[in-house]
A and B are shown apart, each in its own frame.
Chain A
């Protein structure tokens, strides 16, 4: 990981733009760095999962990724039990406030460059948006790079999200309208 050895600890997406301690402010440098990181991550990376109070159904789906049917490892992704070895933090759950310290420590322990992926509706702020015991959104504590919706996200959705996180797949969400097909043309109601 050459991109990490020069002291940069930034992730890929816009979510961690403010985490750049080297102060390389220009957009051009940031773009080059992102390209480098994408090239580095494009081959193989290790995933650390972080459960911040989820109901464990997201974990079930994550576990299914390593089963032969989806076989995550053929794509060069591997799970690791130690954040020190991890490139990507897969966060599930609504970010329980009691877990703040552990979440920050886990993030700090990871070597750069690193990516944070928020997984599931809880982590995206859907299920517990106004609960006093949770933040209700992983983005309040960690700089999230990729958001994967779903309750739970299916293994295929997780694979696609991981592909987006390493820059191998284009995200299709911005192009979706969630308006049923026959109502799009015309517009006269």
Chain B
């Protein structure tokens, strides 16, 4: 008899909560990028802004503004600058404020 079935019978609980640990398929999900600011030069940032098809990236002086809500996790930025970008692995991104999804990435590499 499966463990969960025995436990459910014992507790008299028929429903369970949100999964405490992620399931196996989570490892294969495309996820929004995470940035390495030291590898991120001004030139690279401009290239990333140009390559993003969903306009999730824009540059504001020495800051790259990343709109997670607009990101489609297509991976084109990671292809354009593999040393500056790595998959974040984050996909549980539900937010009550739209502004919480806009992230500021400092550009720490040399600007030219």
- Residue numbers of A with Cβ under 8 A of B are 12-15, 74-76, 121, 124-127, 129, 139, 144-151, 153-154, 156-157, 159-165, 168-169, 171-174, 176-183, 189
Q: B55 an interface residue at 8 Å Cβ cutoff?
A: yes
Partner of B94 from the list A14, A129, A139, A173 (CB cut-off 8 Å) is A173
B101 x A147 contact (CB < 8 A): yes
B15 x A148 contact (CB < 8 A): no
B98 x A147 contact (CB < 8 A): yes
Q: Kindly list chain A residues whose C-beta atoms are within 8 Å of the C-beta of B55.
A: 126, 129
Q: B30 to chain A: closest CB distance in Å? A: 8
Q: Kindly list chain B residues whose C-beta atoms are within 8 Å of the C-beta of A153.
A: 91, 93
Scoring B29, B37, B96, B108 by chain A CB atoms within 10 A of each residue's CB, the highest score goes to B96
Q: B43 an interface residue at 8 Å Cβ cutoff?
A: no
- Asked, given contacts A157-B94, A178-B105, A189-B109, whether A126 binds B17 with beta carbons under 8 Å apart, the answer is no
Q: Total A-B pairs in contact (CB under 8 Å)? A: 160
Q: Can you identify 29 A-B contacts, CB atoms within 8 angstroms?
A: A74-B16, A121-B69, A124-B69, A124-B70, A124-B101, A125-B69, A126-B67, A126-B70, A126-B72, A127-B54, A129-B70, A147-B94, A149-B32, A149-B70, A151-B54, A156-B25, A156-B92, A161-B94, A164-B96, A168-B18, A173-B100, A176-B90, A176-B103, A178-B32, A178-B66, A178-B68, A178-B88, A180-B35, A180-B36
Q: B111 to chain A: closest CB distance in Å? A: 11
Q: B86 an interface residue at 8 Å Cβ cutoff?
A: yes
Q: B19 an interface residue at 8 Å Cβ cutoff?
A: yes
- Looking at chain B's contact residues, the main secondary structure is loop
Q: What CA separation (Å) do A15 and B95 show in the bound complex?
A: 12
Question: Chain B, interface size: which category?
Answer: 35 or more
Partner of B91 from the list A15, A154, A179 (CB cut-off 8 Å) is A154
Contact with A along B53-82 (1 / 0, CB 8 A): 011100000000011111111100000000
B68 x A163 contact (CB < 8 A): no
Known: A150-B91, A154-B29. 13 other contacts (CB 8 A): A13-B97, A144-B98, A145-B96, A146-B94, A147-B101, A148-B93, A154-B91, A156-B92, A176-B88, A178-B35, A179-B35, A183-B37, A183-B108
Q: A184 to chain B: closest CB distance in Å? A: 9
A121 x B94 contact (CB < 8 A): no
Partner of A147 from the list B15, B23, B95 (CB cut-off 8 Å) is B95
Q: Kindly list chain A residues whose C-beta atoms are within 8 Å of the C-beta of B34.
A: 178-181
Q: Kindly list chain A residues whose C-beta atoms are within 8 Å of the C-beta of B37.
A: 179, 183, 189
Q: Kindly list chain A residues whose C-beta atoms are within 8 Å of the C-beta of B32.
A: 149, 178
Chain B residue at smallest Cβ distance from A73: B15
